[in-house]
Structure 1
Amino acid sequence: MKTMNAIVQPAYGSAEVLRFEEVERPALGEGEVLVRVHAASVCKGDVHLLTGTPYLLRLAFGLRKPKRRIAGQEMAGTVEAVGPNVTALKPGDEVYGQMPGGAFAEYVCAPADLFVPKPANLTFEQAAAVPISGMTALQGLRDAGQLKPGQKVLINGASGGVGTFAVQIAKALGAEVTAVCSTRHVDKVRSLGADRVIDYTREDFLKGPERYDVTLDLVGNHSPAECRAVLAPKGVFVSSAGSPGGNWIGPIVWMLKVMLAGMFGSQKMTMLMAMPRREDLLSLRSLIEAGKVTPVIERRFALRETAAALGHVAEGHSQGKTVIFV
């Protein structure tokens, strides 16, 4: 029996429930690839799956304990072997992608269509930082926000994992970008290409005279109704703010607030439900290889330090992404 090291999550809770263990290496099935993981990254979704909150998540991921023993969703690595009927990838290919779980391990086994060739100009650690956060930013601006060249966009939460991608993607789409973050992140966000950076500790963007064609809210610290005040008459408010308002009915209340705010006037108010898409991974690779998008990595942890990595992200206010090298 071949084994590997992995981060096992036997229960919901804080990062202390995670265990660094030797487990059986996953078996390769039809249409799947076995990938040697070189790096993974931590997103806010990993924290939600760790704690099992908001509790509605447990309907899909396990009521009393996680269905998947090994955590982690974003990774980059090298194809070790391919199963029957896999033609798009071959052993030795360097890939990156997103999966429902299993990335915090030395090997992953998953359907081949979850992976694409990683950007040639990125390290494995940089590539692992891209999938979920990059796709969320891309889908939020391009699809939900319908952002066009020359339009004005405001990104609330511009220094986080999604926000740092959003600033760069918005510029790549030809928009004029206003970014909102705290004092210690101002210089970094400005270096990503933001035309204007608002330090929320000193200025309330809701009280400014500017009106935006698209607002991408990644924080949820202002109600959707309040955010309408800074939208242009035909503007779009896109919320990807997690679960503000509590772990029981908070997500439902927030969605209702977004829906209700959109029932009046000509402005559009929408929730973003980002989905993994192979074509979007390819689009992100093109943007990265063209030099228009670069992942921002704040901290690096070894695989056996994954609990500390999740604890760091759970604290909030991180800059860019936190990655795990394997």
Structure 2
Amino acid sequence: MKALIQDRYGSADTLEFGETDSPVPAVDEVLVRVHAASVNAYDWHLMHGDPKIARLAFGLAKPKARIRGRDFAGRVEAVGSGVMGFKPGDEVYGEADGAFAEFVCAKDSMVGPKPANLTFEQAAAIPLAGNTALIGLRDVARLRRGQSVLVNGASGGVGTFAVQLAKAYGAEVTAVCSTRNVDLVRSLGADHVIDYRLEDFTRGGRRYDVVLDLVGNHSLAGFRRALTPTGTLVLSGGGVYEGGSVVGPMGLFFKRRLAALFSRQRLLELPARQSRANLAALCELAESGKIAPVVERTYPLSEAAEAIRYVVVEHARAKVVVTV
């Protein structure tokens, strides 16, 4: 099969579009013929092996997973002997390493029915970003109707879903983005928009019940100034950190844990927890019209390396999708 292959850490120049063996599903896996896959900051981090401490999981000398890509949407080709609930021909979406390929194997717990009202390209934009926003607001922040929430990085993949989810939960939403994305986040339902080029929300004087940070571009003290005395800060650390680092956002996380010992504010990290239940919840939200993926542009699989490069260099808004 054709796939985007990487055998050493580095820039997008280390990625090669070529032929490799098709995967074979294990007992608990689903083999999917990929129709579309989307680009995430995760792909950039894994491509670079950044932060370096993450190589303990990614692979010390080179990536353990040779094929890049995480989100996918497509049709089931085959299922493992222990898989229940899926059959060949089913339209599905989900997460698995190796999505920038003609076929991908995914754990059945990481696959769900594709939203019926979305194209494969739209559905592929949801899993990782939508799940991150869902966990951050619903599970970690425990966002309630009537609360005020600020989304820092509102025009990115996770941010566009976070703005829509916060509105669906009945919150008053302030979106932080660059000048060119103001109209986009307003169209997603943001009640207020802060252009970070013109205003620093950490020094604006307004306080929020929840701050969801998707960028990591302020100090912990700055984030806390933007919170009410009993507010909640959710740190994702999922942005693209230019230049690389040894520990990445974990330095901020360590400071958060220390500060949390002496504060009434809830200072929390956003865990990575994928599940079929969350995919089902996102599917329901999409089919009801409460969330809609925003796809800025698409690339063919043969140009998937350029898609990753575009996300990093051009600071893409919303989602970039690879079509197969």
Q: What is the TM-score of this pair, normalised by structure 2?
A: 0.96
Match of 1:237 among 227, 233, 237: 233
CA–CA distance in 1 between the matches of 2:95 and 2:32? 12
Show the counterpart of 1:7: 4
Identify which range, 223-232 or 247-256, moves more after superposition. 247-256
Amino acid at match of 2:47: L
CA–CA distance in 1 between the matches of 2:84 and 2:238? 37
CA–CA distance in 2 between the matches of 1:277 and 1:87? 15
Deviations 1:170-226 (A, max 9, x none): 001111100000000000000000000111111121222321110001111111111
Show the counterpart of 2:276: 278
CA–CA distance in 2 between the matches of 1:320 and 1:260? 33
Identify which range, 25-34 or 292-301, moves more after superposition. 25-34
Show the counterpart of 1:289: 287
Show the counterpart of 1:125: 121
Unmatched segments (≥5 aa) in structure 1: none
CA contact (8 A) 1:225 1:261 kept: no
Cα RMSD, aligned residues only? 1.4
Match of 1:89 among 86, 91, 108: 86
Amino acid at match of 1:270: L
CA–CA distance in 2 between the matches of 1:228 and 1:60? 31
Identity %: 57
Q: CA deviation at 1:90?
A: 0.7
Amino acid at match of 1:58: R
Show the counterpart of 1:221: 217
Taking the TM superposition and a 5 Å limit, the aligned residue runs for 1:293-312 are 293-312=291-310
Q: 2:203 matched to 1:207?
A: yes
CA contact (8 A) 2:148 2:209 kept: yes
CA contact (8 A) 1:140 1:274 kept: no
Q: CA deviation at 1:316?
A: 5.5
CA contact (8 A) 2:140 2:234 kept: yes
CA–CA distance in 2 between the matches of 1:32 and 1:303? 23
CA–CA distance in 2 between the matches of 1:247 and 1:275? 24
Q: CA deviation at 1:257?
A: 2.0
CA–CA distance in 1 between the matches of 2:151 and 2:160? 10
Show the counterpart of 1:73: 70
Query: Secondary structure at the residue paired with 2:161?
Result: helix
Q: What is the TM-score of this pair, normalised by structure 1?
A: 0.95
CA contact (8 A) 1:303 1:324 kept: yes
Q: 2:133 matched to 1:140?
A: no
CA–CA distance in 2 between the matches of 1:81 and 1:252? 39
Query: Secondary structure at the residue paired with 1:142?
Result: helix
Amino acid at match of 2:296: E
Q: 2:157 matched to 1:161?
A: yes
Unmatched segments (≥5 aa) in structure 2: none
Give the paired residue count: 322
Q: Structure 1 pair 241/111, CA: closer, same or farther in 2 (3 Å)?
A: closer
Identify which range, 246-255 or 215-224, moves more after superposition. 246-255
Query: Secondary structure at the residue paired with 2:38?
Result: strand
Query: Secondary structure at the residue paired with 2:174?
Result: strand
Amino acid at match of 2:195: D
CA contact (8 A) 2:203 2:222 kept: no
CA contact (8 A) 1:76 1:97 kept: yes
Query: Secondary structure at the residue paired with 1:257?
Result: helix
CA–CA distance in 2 between the matches of 1:180 and 1:252? 23
Show the counterpart of 1:171: 167
